Amino acid sequence: MPELPEVEIMTRNVRRWCDGRRLLGAELLDPALGVDLSGAIGQAMGPARRRGKYLCQPIGAQVLVLHFRMTGKAVVESSGPRKHARLRLRVEGSPPVAFVDTRRLGTAALLPAGELDAFFAAIPMGPEPWPEPRDGAWWQQRLVGLRGHIKGALMNQARVAGLGNIAASETCYRARLDPRSRVPALGAADWDAIAAAVPAFIEHVLNEESGPEIAYINEGRGAANPFDVYARAGERCGRCGGAVVRIVQAGRATFLCGGCQPRR
């Protein structure tokens, strides 16, 4: 699924496609999505915003909340209907905007704008790591009490929102930290390194992937891999020349350089 930077890109795109325009119609192509937009037809759409990995699109007095899970995307259908579209919004003066989601794990909800805060309050989701500056002390405080490895801790949405499987590997790489290091073993310098690595990674992805549609590196053969270690097992580390390896943590793939990410 899209992680924080990809959802940020999609949010900016949706804002450009929808903000200030009227919703002319909605097609629910996958009833399992379970969202009824009939009451929102004709309403003006406001600026989309992001919270964690959620995208929120105001429509009149309501908000459409999307979560993309593993394979979801918000796309503009400028060249016709897309395969795996689950929901299509017809937008005044703009091509349709579709929620495309191959594996259909994504979710959607439509709620009164006034209930959005309560909606998020009911989801265990910590504060945003970006764009507000966060220092090492902030990170240490957010992850205090966790005893597992740092990679899993970085992905803990209840502590800090938005970082996913790729961000966790890439953050550890940038921080020169073995992702298997236990949280209690980290020192002040490690927390500072994490604090610097996270925004650097997010902004790198925003620069690399911004465009009308985010690309999954395992999708087709087109997209170049914008990451330093993710999906680069067997390649050389661009920093020390060591070998990038793939390991499994909690059932998920982790990538790291065996040469320059010592364990704490």
Partner DNA sequence: AGGACTGTTCCGCG
Partner DNA sequence: GCGCGGAACAGTCC
Q: Which stretch binds DNA (CB under 7 A): 9-17, 20-28, 37-45, 67-75?
A: 67-75
The token pair at 122 is 């009911």
Give the whole-angstrom CA distance, residue 83 versus residue 133.
39
Q: State in angstroms the smallest separation of the CB of 148 from DNA.
A: 3
Size of the site for DNA (CB under 7 A): 46
Question: Quick check: 228 binds DNA (CB under 7 A)?
Answer: no
* Beta carbon of residue 210, minimum distance to DNA (angstroms, whole number): 13
Interaction between residue 22 and DNA (CB under 7 A): no
**Contact of 158 with 232, CB cutoff 8 Å:** no
**Per the residue annotation, which of 53, 73, 88, 142 is the catalytic one?**
53
Q: How far is the CB of 75 from DNA (least distance, A)?
A: 14
Binding string, residues 175-204; x marks residues near DNA by CB under 7 A: --------x---------------------
User: Per CB under 7 A, does 31 bind DNA?
Assistant: no
- Active-site annotation holds for 88: no
146 makes contact with DNA (CB under 7 A): yes
53: annotated active-site residue: yes
249 binds DNA (CB under 7 A): yes
Interaction between residue 156 and DNA (CB under 7 A): yes
**Among 13, 16, 120, 22, CA closest to 65:** 120
Note if 73 is an active site residue: no
Taking the least distance from each CB to DNA, the nearer of 60 and 258 is 258
Catalytic residue among 69, 182, 239, 252: 252
Region binding DNA by CB under 7 A among candidate stretches 37-45, 108-116, 126-134, 245-253: 245-253
Residue 13 sits in the site that holds DNA (CB under 7 A): no
Can you give the three-state secondary structure of the chain, one letter per residue? CCCHHHHHHHHHHHHHHHCCCEEEEEEECCHHHCCCCHHHCCCEECCCEEECCEEEEEECCEEEEEECCCCEEEEECCCCCCCCEEEEEEECCEEEEEEEECCCCCEEEEEEHHHHHHHHHCCCCCCCCCCCCCCHHHHHHHCCCCCCEHHHHHCCCCCCCCCCHHHHHHHHHHCCCCCCCEHHHCCHHHHHHHHHHHHHHHHHHHHHHCCCCCCCCCCCCCCCCCCCCCCCCCCECCCCCCEEEEEEECCEEEEEECCCCCCC
Is 2 considered catalytic here? yes
Catalytic residues: 2-3, 53, 252
Q: Which residues of the chain form contacts with DNA (CB under 7 A)?
A: 1-3, 6, 52-53, 67, 69-71, 84, 102-105, 123-124, 145-149, 152-153, 155-157, 164-166, 183, 214-218, 220-221, 223, 231, 246, 249-253
